[in-house]
Each structure stands twice: as structure tokens, then as C-alpha cells.
Chains A and B, each alone.
Chain A
Amino acid sequence: MTGGPSGSSVYGVAAEFEDAARLLHALRELRRRGYARLDACTPFPVHGIEQALGLRRSPLGWVALAAGVAGAAGALLLQWWTGSVAYPLVIGGKPFFALEVSVPVAFELAVLLASFAAVLGMLALNGLPRLYHPSLRHSRFRRASDDGFLLIVESDGPHFQPERALEALRSLGGRQAEVLEE
């Protein structure tokens, strides 16, 4: 652990908690003590963890909306342009372009693009795909996708003192409190 305290190559410290309740309690406590950069790895979305961590509402909705509008507009444009500019054909005596018949395609393309936006946006915001992460170093990390609840205190600069953080985690009931190297 030499040089560890310097915190230069330390990502943060992490400990495992019994269940969601203890995890939440610990999170709230740590924040009160002024730890700003906290995170948790849980097997399922824990109710109320956003508030505990002070996370903002995900902006994905707006991304999807924009994409959806673009899809619809693009579809209408495509149908108008191909039908009445690129290659106008008299078909069944019908107009070259009409909104009525253009609705289904517009709708489908809106949904398609919005869905892609939602998924890709989610991955982007989460920085996925990512194959390595310091928290994987934690000896109990694997439990986090089964029935373990991992609390991570991330280093927030040179003044970060892993020992105190470990201490804090232990005091709040965290087990296997460990330092995570970068």
C-alpha cells in the first residue's frame, strides 16, 4: 500500500453491503460527510438511489424525441421527393404526393430512429461498451450482479485519503473495504 495514500494512482475505495437498505443508508451518510463522488454497483435498480446520490433525471427523453421528429420529417421528405421530384409517376390516378398515404412510413421511421437514439444514447451516457473498469478489481465485484451491493467512493483529487474513506465504509457496515487502483 506504499504510495497508495498519495492517491495519485488510486481510483477509489469500495466495500460491499448486506442489502439495498444498508447501502442507501451508507450513501446518505457519506454524502453528509461531504463525499461528493459516490457510486454503487447493484444487481437491480435500487429504489431511491438516485436521490441518495443526487443524480439528475436522465436526458435521454429529449434525445429520443429529436430523433423521432427527424425520422418523421425525413420520411415525409423522402416520399415527397421521390414521388413528385425524382421520378413522378401517375399511379392509380392519384396525386404525386399526399399526406394521408405518407403517414404509415413516417410513423414507422420516427419510432425506429427514436428507439435507436434511446439505446445508443443510453450506452453513450453510460460510457459503454467498456471492457475494463477499476471497480472490477474489487474481490466481491462479481456479487454485485448476483446479490451483493457494492459502494464505491471515488477519488476526487490529490487530497483524497483512502484510509479515511475505508474507515468510513467500515464504520457504516461495509465489508471487504478495499482500495481500488486505477
Chain B
Amino acid sequence: MNGRRYWRSLGQRQDSPEFRQWLEREFPQLASEWTGSRRTLLRLMAASFGLAGLTACRRPAERILPAGRGIEGYVPGRPLYYATIMTLSGLATGLLVETHEGRPTKIEGNPEHPSSRGAATAFAQAAILGLYDPDRSRSVLRQGRRSSWEELAGFLPSHFRAAGRGEGLWVVSSAIGSPTLARLKALLLEKYPRARWIEYEPLGREQEWEGSRLAFGRALQPQLRLDQAEVILSLDADFLGLDCLAPAWIQDFARRRRISSPGGGMNRLYVVETAYSLTGAMADHRRRARPSEIPALAQELARALGLAGELPVLQPGPPRTWAEAVARDLRRHPGRCLVLAGPRQPAAVHALVHWINHALGNVGRTVHYTEPPVQTQAEGLRDLAAEAASGGLRTLVILGGNPVYDAPADLDFSTVMRKAPVSIHLGPEADETAALASWHVPEAHFLESWGDGRALDGTASIQQPLIEPLFGGKTAGELAAWIAGHPRQRAYDLVRDYWTARWPKGDAERLWQRSLHDGVIPETAFPAVRPVLDEPRLRALLAAPLPAGEELEVTFLPSASTYDGRFANNGWLQEAPEPITKLTWDNAALISPATARRLGLEAGDLAALERAGRRIVMPVWIQPGHADGAVSLTLGYGRLRCGRVGRGIGHNAYPLRLGGPSPHPAGLRLSKLGRKYPLAVTQEHHSMEGRPLVREATLDEFRRNPDFTAREGPKVERFSLFREHAYTQGHQWGMAVDLNACIGCNACLLACQAENNIPIVGKEQVRRGREMHWIRLDRYYAGGEDDPQVVWQPVACQQCEMAPCETVCPVAATNHSPEGLNDMTYNRCIGTRYCANNCPYKVRRFNFLDYHKGLEEIHKMAYNPDVTVRMRGVMEKCTYCVQRIEEKRIQAKAEGRRPLRDGEILTACQQTCPAEAIVFGDLNDPESRVSRLKRDPRNYSLLGELNTRPRTSYLAKLRNPNPELEGLESS
């Protein structure tokens, strides 16, 4: 189709310098300094005109199946939903992808899938933008110069014919969860027995598997049942945040937080961690500890539980008292509690945790074990480096991943690359690794290629493409097959053959269809295994002395925006505020206020960090609640070879990250540079100033006086100077947000951005306070700056019945719908900003500049056709996803004027919220979920005393502290 011709023609222009130049200029996502001219915009339009119509018919050649119940075939203008999966670090989460006229526009979680259960993470939401990223590599590169598939096809067979039994052939791939790829790996190793294949993930979980080996003699995957746990202790495991392996965990956890009546109960969460994480924010008791202190605490706990060692590990003092109190609490809930350890903890701690769970009778109840769906071998890279040094390395194949950027610094992977006579890199972008490879092969995006993968519990799914590869591109499977001597194998055949071969002949077709339709392959979850605990070894383990702590310890965190660096070129993620720090477009070295005082540092100071002879420069950010004497470095920034969005954004922390059998926090030196670095945060003030914004109580207080929310806030009088409009007819939309369930992840924010075509504005504009997000995750600290608690409050337009914004608009551009929506008429707005000034919630967003200007056509493919793109000079804000309300209304009408069902209309934020904290519905239906929540004693209106009558209300937050620990937090 001629869509291709367009790309080739653009490709030809690609190398001309002025082409690059205007791309640079015309890419607002990049525009930290906003510049641009209409002329260049017109040129861009002209250049990409052809695509507009053509991309509409880029459906994959192979037959894919919609997941919509019953609806097959497609009605123009009607979106279709397809089930597929997204794989991160080898683990699959099930997705439903909305497509309009054959182009994916929105991602939701697949309700059928065990690990997503209808929720989608921020990363999944943002994948749409990743698909249409114009900076993805568009052609095969040879020695960094443009080459062609033909040339590659010429090279590969000849080269590997000479590969013999695979001497000196090394393959480095990302974690393999895909059964098909695993089989191809086996095939390849069959053909080249001497070759070695290493699976590597920068955020791999080697320590966990090592821990289970220590405990059970084999690598096992703990499968959590958080919904069964009354008491949870997390040792540096951010299981609600970036260490979350399955969104379903959040759902399970949140279900035990939700509490309908004072009679109800909720779980209790203890967290020990260094930096402030989402999990820490939810904790009922959070203990900040330096990395080196956490193993000690774990041992103390084991002792307190009477597992091993009679003598206390810790000196008498708060930590010990704390551990003992927690131990007692755990012992009170045998089989109904759960202890977790995070990937940053050494194997010994994991082993200990297995033992503790075993001893508490949790195994089989709150946790059971299965085969691990993925396994990585970071240490294998060490052998590779050795072989390279010895000159034995002949061919290096890198199937995905970016080791030059993210491999352990002490391995110096770039030299490994240089040592390799032939290196072939498969990746989505021409990244740091591609730059050093003799061949770079574009990798297809998961939304445009066939594949399969396993969820954490082993459930397998087929990855269906939603669109033809936009820039060509192959999958790891295709390339592996090619190398293994099966050239021109299409991913579709690879996957289909693998699975149909495993099914009874007659049934294969039906099963295939069903798997595509449901997004899961039946009966593929791993069976539980009952491992035997190797107690003697564990005792020996406990006997081993712990490494001593240091003045300044270091720990490395994944980034909420770029994960391990792979999403660096995604503008949505870059501009999404880091949940705790609210930093955008940057990472920083996090330190506690006390440490900052000790080192004479202020937020934004540039500091030099040195470790093992390597030195990086990074701005410092002061993080209340961070452990003293420790520095947390966020990974995934400072990409140098990257698209125009991510290039040079933030500072790279990988150079300080060393490999080795177990993570050790030692040997960091930090020195102030005396220079400042501008950081862009979306929230500059962190205290509630004693205002009753987020209302909170302990479970006991709630039980004693269930109406504490009303008492906490000022009296709300419903009076009016005039006769009010009655909102009793038809539907009356409203929303309730359960602050007790909200975990503060950014999923809703990104879902809203994707659903409502919300632009991103770039670092400079964020610094000026012009971010456009319609929903804000307000994060407040409660308590002293050294060890505060965190509370969340998602704030979007409250849809006030007495909306102050409406009264002051001179042109009546914002007014009320009969269903109680605070409508915003974009094409009537002249942009006085008076409404925003008069909005007590400050949820209105103004287009100070033309933030959509000069987007490439390919970028515009991500737009939701049901939502207007707002022009410069216009005010915008949350609409309760009015387009979704209308869609369902029309659908209901089409289906014989049936009434709308409660829960039929989901706002984008609600649909993706893994904690199910947001409920939207009809207030006129007394039985709707939202109506019931509004009757909850915890329900209150934000700033209700202003008599604005918000349609959105909040359910007060509860914590469930352990009375034994009164007054220990502050220490």
C-alpha cells in the first residue's frame, strides 16, 4: 500500500540536516524552550499529508479477533477492542486495545487476564504514544549507516553458515517469558551447542531466585494472595509501585483497605524501606532504614519469631522494639499474614522471608510457589566480558535491551561490544548499544507484532498486533529463527505453530480463536509446588556476619517515568510527575533532610557522586521520610542516544551501579559542586497548612465516631439566596474517590491524558506552572519533615453544582448540563482565565501556547477521535469523560432504548485504576455504587464549606496502626 511509499520518502529526507533541524524545532514534546513558526508547521503538514488517509488501512494481513462480546466485523466510527499483552521484564499483563478505523488509540486492562484484571499501568497506558513515536528506528543500520533488509538478508546466512557449532557466539536477550521465544532459544542452542544465551534485565530479580535457591534448593516464584493477608510486612518491597509484578496485587491489596462500615476490618501494612515508595505511602507503620539496616532488621524479626539465633541482632532500642512488636503482630495472624522482600535485598533476606512465611504457616494460604515464569542471569554477562577480554568472542547477538547503557558498570559493556568482530543488535530505537553494534535491526512494537508471553502466575497469552509495523521491524523471535537457520519465518507462524502443536488436532483452531478473543490461553497457569525448606542451610546463613553499614549508602531505584530507561523517549511518561517527589523531566539523588543539613545541600544543588572510580554529576532532591545516611539514585535517565524527547534528559546513574553476586550499598562519595540545576516539579508546597483537605483517622477512631469526617471539617450549610435549579430529572452524574484505596500511582493521570488528547508542554513550561494534566495527584506530607506520612488526593474538576467558574465567564463558555456536568465549550471560550482564577480547586488548564503545534501526522494517529483537540488560548478541564457517557447513551438507545446500567459508563481514570478507588455513576439512582458510597459516613466534599456543591466527593482515609507502636515512628 502506498502508506509505505510515504515512509520511504520521509526516510530519504531523514538524513538531510535541515530535515533533522525542523524536526527538532517542530517537536513540541521536546520543546523545553518553546519555539517554532507557522511556516515550518505547514511544511511538516505538506510532508506528511499523504499519511493521513493511508494509515487508516494498515490492519495486519493475518486475521486477528476482536474481544468485544459478540460484535464481529466492524462498523465505521465504532471503536473495536482487541485483546493483547504487554511484556515488561519478561512478564505479560493483559490489555484490551481500542482501535478506531484500524489505528490503536487507547489501552485498557483485559478483565480476563489474571495479572491485570481490567487495570492498566501507567507504562501500559503510555505505550500508545510509544507506538507512534516518530523516533523509533526506521531502517537496518550497518556500522551506524543506513542499510537495508536485503543487505541483512545477504549477510546473516553467510555469516552463520561459518558459525560452526557456535564457538564464540553469544546471545544476550531481555528476559524471556514468551514460550515461543523460549523454544527458539532451545532450537538455536541445539544448532550451535557451543553458543551461550544470556537473559539480562537491568532490573532483574536474580536475588529473589537466589533466595529461593538458598531456601528450597531451586528457583521458585512466590505467588502472593494479598487479599488473604491481614498483616503485611514489606522489607524494601515496593509491591504497590515499581516492584509491582502484577496490577492485580494492587487490586487485592486495595480490596482489603476498602471498608464500608465501622464494623468492617482492614489489613495492616508495615513497610521498611530506604526511599519513600508508593507502598511506604500506604503503610500504617513505615520504618525508614539504610539499605544495610534492612537485613539486620529481617534477622532480628526472624529471631523475634523464634526461628533462629537466641541472641538479639540489634542493640536495644527503637528498631528492636519495632521488630519485636511487628513479630508479635505477625504471630497473632498465623496463615493470615505475609512478609515480602524487595528485589534490592540480598538473597539471604529473601531466603529468610521464605522461612518466616513458612514458619507463620502462610505458605499455601497467603503465598504459594510455582515455577518462575522468567529467569535472568545478570552474572552471565561477567563470563561474556571475560570471553571478550580473552578474545574468544566472535559474534554477539543482542535481542532487545540496551546493555551498553544499563549493564553493570564494572563490566564495561561498551568494550565488550568493541571487542566483538560481529555484533547484531535488535532494538526499537538506535540507542547506545546500536551505536556500537555492527548491525542494528529495528524491533517491532508489541502493538504491531505477533508474539506470546506468560503472566506472573504462568498464564500464557497471545500478543496480537493491532496495526501493520509502521517502520517495518522484526521481533526477537523472527531474528532468532533467522539465526537458527529458519529465515523468513513470520512471527505469526512461529507463534501459531508453537501453540497449535500443543493442542489436539481437531480443537486447535477453536482454541486459537478463543485464545485470541479472550486474551488468555486456558489452563496454562503454573501449578503450585510444595517445596521443602532447607533449614540447616538457613541457620548457617543467619550465622554469617552482616556487612557493616557506612556513612553514606547508596541504593538504585527504577524510574516511574522511564522504568529502566527504555521509556525515556515517551513524553507522556516524562511529564507525568514522579508520584512522591512530583519531579518531571528529570531524576535526582534523593537524600533525607537531616543528611542534606549534614552535607550542607539544598534541593537543586548539583553534586558529584563517586563510586569505584566512576563519577557522575546529579542534582540533589531533599526527600522527607528518606532514610538518613543514604542516597537513592533513580535509574533510567541521561540517555545520550535516544529520540528527541529523552535525549539528554536527566542524569545517568548506571555508571555507579556495580554487578556482583549481591547488591552492596557501600563506597559512595558525595561532594557539593556549588552549582544549581533547574528542576521542574508540579507541586511546590507539601503541607496541608492544617486545612481539612484530606481527612484521615485511625480505624479505632473511625469505629468510635464514624462521622469524624464531618467533625474534622467546618460546618457545611446548604443555603442559597435564590431558588435553586432542581437536579432531580434523568441521570445526575457524580463521582466518589476512596482515599483509603488510592495508592497514588499515575495510572489515572496517563489514562486521562490518552483518552482526552491532553498535550504535554515540556520542562520549561512545567517550571512555569503550565502542565496540562486534567487530574492531579495531590501529595501531602503529614508529620515532621524527617519521617512524615504521605496522603494522596486525586483532584480533577469537581463538577460543582454551584460552579464559581461558570458565573464569572463573560461569554458563558462554561455552563451546566441538565445532567449536572460542568460543561466547557471550547470553541466558545475566549480565554479570559477568569474561571481558573475563581476555581477553588485550581483544576482548570489553559493553553498558554499552541501545545499541539507541529505534531507529526504519525503522532496525531494517537489522538482519540471522540475528543476535540484544544487550540491555543482556550481553557480546558476534566469533563467526566463526557464522550464516554454519550457513547454509552447512544449504544443503549440503539439497543432498544434500554436504560443505562450502573457501572456501564466508566471514566478513563476509573477504568484503569488498579485500586478501584474511583467510582462514577448516577446519583439519581439510589442503588448505584456511587450513591451508596455517598451515603458512607466517610464521605465528604472537598472545600464543601464554600457551598460549591461538588459532584465529586471523597471517602476519608483510614490507617490501621498497631497500638503497641505508639510514638515509635518519629524515631
Q: Which residues of A contact B809 (CB under 8 A)?
A: 91
Interface assignment of B843: CB less than 8 Å from any CB of chain A: no
Interface assignment of B816: CB less than 8 Å from any CB of chain A: yes
**Contact among B805, B807, B949 for A94, CB-based, below 8 A:** B807
Interface assignment of A92: CB less than 8 Å from any CB of chain B: yes
Q: How far is the CA of A93 from the CA of B812 in the complex (A)?
A: 13
- Complex contact B949–A92 (CB within 8 A): no
- Complex contact B815–A93 (CB within 8 A): no
- Complex contact B722–A92 (CB within 8 A): no
Q: Which residues of B contact A92 (CB under 8 A)?
A: 802-807, 816
**Contact among B722, B724, B725, B802 for A98, CB-based, below 8 A:** B722
Q: Which residues of A contact B801 (CB under 8 A)?
A: 93
Interface 0/1 of B783-810, CB less than 8 Å to A: 0000000000000000001111111010
Q: How far is the CA of A95 from the CA of B802 in the complex (A)?
A: 11
Give the size range of A's interface with the partner: under 10
- Complex contact A94–B812 (CB within 8 A): no
- Complex contact B812–A91 (CB within 8 A): yes
- Complex contact B815–A91 (CB within 8 A): yes
Interface assignment of B723: CB less than 8 Å from any CB of chain A: yes
**A89, A90, A98, most chain B CB atoms within 10 A:** A90
Q: How far is the CA of A89 from the CA of B823 in the complex (A)?
A: 11
Minimum CB–CB distance from B726 to chain A (whole Å) comes to: 10
- Complex contact A89–B815 (CB within 8 A): yes
- With both beta carbons as reference points, the residue of chain B lying nearest to A87 in the complex is identified as B812
Q: How far is the CA of A126 from the CA of B812 in the complex (A)?
A: 45
Minimum CB–CB distance from A56 to chain B (whole Å) comes to: 46
Interface 0/1 of B719-746, CB less than 8 Å to A: 0101111000000000000000000000
Q: How far is the CA of A90 from the CA of B729 in the complex (A)?
A: 14
Q: How far is the CA of A89 from the CA of B723 in the complex (A)?
A: 15
**A89, A90, A93, A95, most chain B CB atoms within 10 A:** A93
Q: How far is the CA of A174 from the CA of B807 in the complex (A)?
A: 69
**Contact among B720, B804, B805, B815 for A90, CB-based, below 8 A:** B815
- With both beta carbons as reference points, the residue of chain B lying nearest to A92 in the complex is identified as B807
Minimum CB–CB distance from A90 to chain B (whole Å) comes to: 4
Q: How far is the CA of A35 from the CA of B224 in the complex (A)?
A: 118
Q: How far is the CA of A98 from the CA of B807 in the complex (A)?
A: 13
Interface 0/1 of A80-104, CB less than 8 Å to B: 0000000001111111001000000
- Complex contact B802–A90 (CB within 8 A): no
- Complex contact B723–A91 (CB within 8 A): no
Q: How far is the CA of A142 from the CA of B899 in the complex (A)?
A: 88
- Complex contact A91–B722 (CB within 8 A): no
Q: Which residues of B contact A89 (CB under 8 A)?
A: 812, 815-816
Q: How far is the CA of A127 from the CA of B818 in the complex (A)?
A: 58
Instruction: Give chain B interface residues in 816-836, CB to chain A under 8 Å.
Output: 816, 818
- With both beta carbons as reference points, the residue of chain A lying nearest to B802 in the complex is identified as A93
Instruction: Give chain A interface residues in 90-133, CB to chain B under 8 Å.
Output: 90-95, 98
- Complex contact B803–A95 (CB within 8 A): no
Instruction: Give chain B interface residues in 493-545, CB to chain A under 8 Å.
Output: none
- Complex contact B724–A93 (CB within 8 A): yes
Q: Which residues of B contact A90 (CB under 8 A)?
A: 725, 815-816, 818
- Complex contact B803–A93 (CB within 8 A): yes
- With both beta carbons as reference points, the residue of chain B lying nearest to A93 in the complex is identified as B802
- Complex contact A93–B804 (CB within 8 A): no
Q: How far is the CA of A94 from the CA of B800 in the complex (A)?
A: 12
Q: Which residues of B contact A94 (CB under 8 A)?
A: 722, 807
Q: How far is the CA of A91 from the CA of B806 in the complex (A)?
A: 5
- Complex contact A95–B816 (CB within 8 A): no
Q: How far is the CA of A182 from the CA of B760 in the complex (A)?
A: 79
Q: Which residues of A contact B807 (CB under 8 A)?
A: 91-92, 94
**Contact among B722, B804, B949 for A95, CB-based, below 8 A:** B722
Instruction: Give chain A interface residues in 44-93, CB to chain B under 8 Å.
Output: 89-93
- With both beta carbons as reference points, the residue of chain A lying nearest to B723 in the complex is identified as A95
Q: How far is the CA of A95 from the CA of B816 in the complex (A)?
A: 12
- With both beta carbons as reference points, the residue of chain A lying nearest to B804 in the complex is identified as A92
Residues of B within 8 A of A (CB): 720, 722-725, 801-807, 809, 812, 815-816, 818, 949
18 extra A-B contacts, CB within 8 A, seeds A89-B812, A92-B816, A95-B723: A89-B815, A89-B816, A90-B725, A90-B815, A90-B816, A90-B818, A91-B807, A91-B809, A91-B812, A91-B815, A92-B802, A92-B803, A92-B804, A92-B805, A93-B816, A94-B807, A95-B722, A98-B722
Residues of A within 8 A of B (CB): 89-95, 98
30 A/B residue pairs, CB under 8 Å, sorted by A: A89-B812, A89-B816, A90-B725, A90-B815, A90-B818, A91-B806, A91-B807, A91-B809, A91-B812, A91-B815, A91-B816, A92-B802, A92-B803, A92-B804, A92-B805, A92-B806, A92-B807, A92-B816, A93-B720, A93-B724, A93-B725, A93-B801, A93-B802, A93-B803, A93-B816, A94-B722, A94-B807, A95-B722, A95-B723, A98-B722
